[in-house]
Amino acid sequence: MRSNRPPLALVWLKRDLRLRDHDALTAALAENKYVLLLYIAEPSLLADEHVSERHLDFIKASIEDLQQQLKALNTAVLAVKGEVLDVFEKLQSFFNLTGIYSHIETGLGVTYLRDQKVADWCHAQNIHWKEYRQQGVFRALPNRKQWIKRWTEFMNRPQAPFPTKKGWLKLQQIESLRREFTLLDCKVEANEQIQPGGEQKAFRYLNSFFEGRYKNYQTHISKPDLARKSCSRLSPYIAYGNLSMRQVLQRTEAEKAKGKKGFGIRAFESRLRWQAHFIQKFEMECRMEHESINRGYHALNKTVRPDYIKAWEEGKTGVPMVDAAMRCLVATGYLNFRMRALVVSFFVHQLWQPWQACSGFLARQFLDFEPGIHFPQLQMQAGETGINTLRIYNPVKNGQEHDPHGHFTQKWLPELSELPPTLVHTPWEITPFESALYNFELGKNYPAPIVNLEESRKKASDILWKMQKAPLVYQESKRILRKHTLPNRNSIQ
């Protein structure tokens, strides 16, 4: 019966929403008579605490961008809502599925379990599911001895070409197929504050970075406002595969060859390497989604305080740099690295909350949420790896150093807008005279800090330094070093 149905290969799009340098797509077109691009918005994935409408909007905009580009090829993406196996089953009832092509995903537990079911289903149906690397991340590695060599070899490979008109399921056929499914409406209302998704937008960011923004990369990287322009802002495009890391790296090499040199470019390039380095850690130890990689820290006893968590999420802790960063993140989906580290540090150290209690909220806010970077970074900032130096950020010092005029802080905390720069990061130091002068009352216009900064820092530091000497922490540190660090540990953490 199946053989009477027309043949069709699926390119199952996940976090690879682009047409250029797409190995799975190239292979599908080379090996099959008809190919369909398929995106499935899965209710089970959308229900995960790390996933948000913000992410879905970025995905929708990316699909819209693909649809525009695909018009010239007389084809389209079939974008549907539903669970993956239901959609595959239905497609199989119309077609003889000749193969499923996708990228290798290092994702959340929910996608890992779904992929296992897909593999079983494909096996039972005798359908070949071919997965292609897009990240420089390798499955089933016992350690990192060969990783950098393999990563370099992968990144140096030529890019897959833009597809031609040949081999697609035609637009007309896709139109009639659409009637059979619950479609994903990909229209999104533009939000000026949030980066728009899509392959073409990604290239605009890539081009504008090398056309000039890169010049201040190194000097602005830690500044909460200036980093927004001088950093590449490529992270959501890389996270959703609007760009492949190979494209970004090869472009960087080409720009260097044209004469762009200097510490900034080198610093940028090393961060590009960190991307896969972190994801590889998560690939090799995915229990990091739920627990610290270093089992010695499972003994850490922290009491969840919903009142602290609420204040932190709403940007009302009474610590201006933390609050401004949190409100900015909620509004825009982006923070530079230092501010991400600072808000997490404040949460896990000063508020003494488990990193798991901020993981979902942060992931939902970060437009660029990438599980393989998110979980290892949270644990690093929480001081629970045993292999990284414990770092407790001082939010006042960071505010004074990186937002000295208070512009960023006052933008996101308008209640502090009348205060002079000397008080913006320490409003609790206001004198009665200044209070009257600036018409500002601590506790009324803006809260007093919910914890004592110095005492809470000292408590966290004492406990964590002591724990570093615990036998299990030490033993686990050795294991982590053997498994996850490169032979030459200097270039990558």
Ligand X SMILES: Cc1cc2nc3c(=O)[nH]c(=O)nc-3n(C[C@H](O)[C@H](O)[C@H](O)COP(=O)(O)OP(=O)(O)OC[C@H]3O[C@@H](n4cnc5c(N)ncnc54)[C@H](O)[C@@H]3O)c2cc1C
In the complex, the smallest distance separating the C-beta of residue 152 from ligand X, rounded to whole angstroms, is 16
Asked if 104 and 237 touch (Cβ cutoff 8 Å), the reply is no
Of 111, 292, 381, 409, the one binding ligand X by CB under 6 A: 381
3-state class of 77 per DSSP?
strand
Structural tokens at position 354 = 């488990």
Distant-in-sequence, close-in-space partners of 401: CB < 8 Å, separation ≥ 6: none
Intra-chain end-to-end CA distance of the chain, in Å = 55
How many C-beta atoms surround the C-beta of residue 52 within 10 A?
20
Per DSSP, the chain holds a count of helices (H) and strands (E) of 24, 5
Of 137, 311, 341, 473, the one binding ligand X by CB under 6 A: 341
- Does position 378 interact with ligand X (CB under 6 A)? The reply is yes
- Does position 64 interact with ligand X (CB under 6 A)? The reply is no
Which helix (H) or strand (E) segment holds residue 422: the answer is: helix 421-424
Of 87, 373, 382, 392, the one binding ligand X by CB under 6 A: 373
- Does position 201 interact with ligand X (CB under 6 A)? The reply is no
- Does position 238 interact with ligand X (CB under 6 A)? The reply is yes
In the complex, the smallest distance separating the C-beta of residue 214 from ligand X, rounded to whole angstroms, is 9
In the complex, the smallest distance separating the C-beta of residue 48 from ligand X, rounded to whole angstroms, is 14
Q: Round to whole Å and give the CA distance between 16 and 22.
A: 8
- Does position 313 interact with ligand X (CB under 6 A)? The reply is no
In the bound state with ligand X, the residue whose beta carbon lies nearer, of 344 and 467, is 344
Interface mask toward ligand X for 248-287; x: CB under 6 A: --------------------x--xx-xx--x---------
Asked if 44 and 51 touch (Cβ cutoff 8 Å), the reply is no
Across the beta sheet with 96-103, the strand order is: 77-81, 35-41, 7-13, 96-103, 129-132
- Does position 213 interact with ligand X (CB under 6 A)? The reply is no
Side chain identity, residue 439: N
Asked if 240 and 17 touch (Cβ cutoff 8 Å), the reply is yes
Of 233, 349, 402, 425, the one binding ligand X by CB under 6 A: 233
Q: Round to whole Å and give the CA distance between 393 and 306.
A: 22
In the bound state with ligand X, the residue whose beta carbon lies nearer, of 13 and 378, is 378
- Does position 239 interact with ligand X (CB under 6 A)? The reply is yes
In the bound state with ligand X, the residue whose beta carbon lies nearer, of 210 and 446, is 210
3-state class of 219 per DSSP?
helix
In the complex, the smallest distance separating the C-beta of residue 12 from ligand X, rounded to whole angstroms, is 23
CA 59 to chain centre: 13
- Does position 346 interact with ligand X (CB under 6 A)? The reply is no
- Site residues (CB under 6 A) for ligand X? 231-235, 238-239, 268, 271-272, 274-275, 278, 336-337, 340-341, 344, 366, 368-370, 373-374, 377-378, 381
